[in-house]
């Protein structure tokens, strides 16, 4: 989620739906010996998606992604440090643009997984004036997933975003 309200965020639910599908397929891959799944008439191998043990680990993970040369080269806002904080209650994670802060609920650290952190980091890296879950967000999100998790999950995320009707270009 994001606090950006100046532009209509009318694809938010589509992005969430696509992300849920990718999450489910990551989980399905956990239960196959070779980590291969069949989806959209393709057979792909999924990497292991890391779960964060605590806030410090999540912070180190975000710093590591921002330090990647490929990320720095492609995304100009990667030079801006991001802060992470625990969010009270059972609400969803969100990004606070004014302070460059990702707020995540830590009641169940195992639910703080790479896709969630990369989603929030994509809000940090998308152009400041762009629709929260619009096409520029989707492009940055898929780019991050490709750089960090690899081409197969990135292909899958892109396919799910398009299939769910989120705008992507």
Residue numbers at the binding site for Zn ion (CB under 5 A): 1
Quick one: 37 or 121, whose CB is closer to Zn ion? 121
Residue 132's DSSP bridge partners are: none
Min separation Cβ 34 and Zn ion, Å: 32
- Which ranges of the chain would DSSP assign to H, the alpha helix? 12-30, 55-67, 69-74, 114-125, 135-149, 151-163
Q: Helix, strand, or coil here: 101?
A: strand
What would you report as the CA-atom Rg of the chain, rounded to the nearest whole angstrom?
15
Quick one: 123 or 147, whose CB is closer to Zn ion? 123
Min separation Cβ 24 and Zn ion, Å: 18
Which residue from 80, 143, 84 is spatially nearest to 93, judged by alpha carbons? 84
Min separation Cβ 137 and Zn ion, Å: 7
Min separation Cβ 46 and Zn ion, Å: 22
Quick one: 1 or 68, whose CB is closer to Zn ion? 1
Which residue from 137, 153, 148 is spatially nearest to 62, judged by alpha carbons? 148
What is the number of the residue whose Cβ is closest to Zn ion?
1
Q: Residues near 54 by Cβ (< 8 Å), separated by ≥ 6?
A: 106, 109
Alpha-carbon distance 54 to 51, whole Å? 9
Quick one: 66 or 117, whose CB is closer to Zn ion? 117
Residue 39's DSSP bridge partners are: 42
Min separation Cβ 19 and Zn ion, Å: 9
Quick one: 131 or 156, whose CB is closer to Zn ion? 131
């Amino acid at each position: 989620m994001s606090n950006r309200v100046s532009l209509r965020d009318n694809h938010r639910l589509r992005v969430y739906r696509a992300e849920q599908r990718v999450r489910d397929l990551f989980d399905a891959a956990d239960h196959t010996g070779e980590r291969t799944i069949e989806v959209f008439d393709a057979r792909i191998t999924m990497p292991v998606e890391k779960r964060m043990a605590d806030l410090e680990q999540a912070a180190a993970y975000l710093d590591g992604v921002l330090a990647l040369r490929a990320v720095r080269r492609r995304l100009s806002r990667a030079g801006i440090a991001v802060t992470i904080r625990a969010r009270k209650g059972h609400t969803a994670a969100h990004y606070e643009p004014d302070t460059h802060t990702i707020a995540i609920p830590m009641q169940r650290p195992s639910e703080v997984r790479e896709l969630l952190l990369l989603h929030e980091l994509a809000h940090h890296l998308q152009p400041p004036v762009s629709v929260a879950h619009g096409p520029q967000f989707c492009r940055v999100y898929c780019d991050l997933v490709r750089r960090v998790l690899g081409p197969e999950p990135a292909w899958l995320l892109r396919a799910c975003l398009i299939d769910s009707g989120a705008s992507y270009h």
